[in-house]
Copies of this chain bind each other. A is one copy, B any other.
Amino acid sequence: MSNFSDLIDGYYRFRGTEWLEERERWAELAEGQSPRVMVIACSDSRVEPATIFGSRPGEIFVVRNVANLVPPFETGGGLHGVSAALEFAVTVLKVSEIVVLGHGACGGVKAALAGNLKDAAPGEGGFVASWISLLDEAREKVIAAHGQGEEGQTALEQEGVRTSLKNLMTFPFVKERVEAGELQLHGAVFAIKDGKLRVLEGDDRFEPA
């Protein structure tokens, strides 16, 4: 496992190999980015979108937070980190696709499913509880159908992606472009255990890619 000094070693490896081999590409990238896809993924250390999708620097604009959540459109009350990234990706970079990428064994989903942090104080689980309250509605639906066991976990990982996709559509600048056919939204879940990627198909089911 790496600590910061290992990461510095890793930087030297990168700088001494990949960077040099793609020096010209990096010079181009320094001029500006023009990714075509935005990916919203979990902060989980096992779910690097660039690794899972084999993308190269410059190809995907990435937001990562606990449980790959997108809050709904809301203009008041404080900072909106995901909304800012979304606004930048859609209206400035003009990405043509957004992917919400969930994953198996997600700690955030697990906490949502368990529901045992509800009264935790900030710093003792309270921030996580508040954040994953975005899954409250999905949670109820999932528990009713699948319970709180392993099946419920998988179902909520998928339902969470659906929730974020729905929330994306509450942003006027997203909805408008989707309806104009300029922007596509995708959902996917990566199961760490068997390395399988399931993609949300037209009929609202997750199917292996």
Bits for A24-67, please: 1 = Cβ < 8 Å to B, else 0.
00110110111111000001111110111111111111111110
Selected from B46, B69, B89, B132, the residue in CB contact (under 8 A) with A33 is: B46
Complex CA distance for A78 and B73, rounded to whole angstroms: 12
Complex CA distance for A8 and B15, rounded to whole angstroms: 11
Closest Cβ–Cβ distance, residue A182 to chain B (whole Å):
13
Flag if B57 contacts A46 (CB, 8 Å). yes
Give A38's nearest chain B residue, CB to CB: B43
Task: Count residues of A near B (Cβ-Cβ below 8 Å).
Answer: 105
A155 at the interface (CB under 8 A from B): no
Residues of B within 8 Å of A114, CB to CB, are none
Complex CA distance for A79 and B128, rounded to whole angstroms: 9
Flag if A59 contacts B16 (CB, 8 Å). no
Closest Cβ–Cβ distance, residue A172 to chain B (whole Å):
6
> Given A30-B192, A60-B45 in contact, is the A84-B13 Cβ separation under 8 Å?
no
> Given A71-B79, A192-B30 in contact, is the A45-B61 Cβ separation under 8 Å?
yes
Complex CA distance for A87 and B209, rounded to whole angstroms: 34
Give A33's nearest chain B residue, CB to CB: B45
Residues of B within 8 Å of A84, CB to CB, are 65-66, 127-128, 130-132
Flag if B26 contacts A33 (CB, 8 Å). no
Chain A residues close to B by CB (< 8 Å): 1-4, 6-20, 23, 26-27, 29-30, 32-37, 43-48, 50-66, 69, 71, 73-75, 77-89, 91-92, 96-97, 99, 104-105, 107-108, 122-128, 130-132, 134, 171-173, 184, 186, 192-193, 195-197, 199, 207-209
Q: Which 4 pairs across A and B sit closest by C-beta, in order of nearness?
A: A16-B16, A10-B54, A208-B208, A84-B131
Apart from A26-B192, A30-B192, A84-B127, list 8 A-B contacts with CB within 8 A. A10-B55, A13-B17, A13-B54, A33-B45, A45-B59, A77-B78, A79-B131, A92-B107
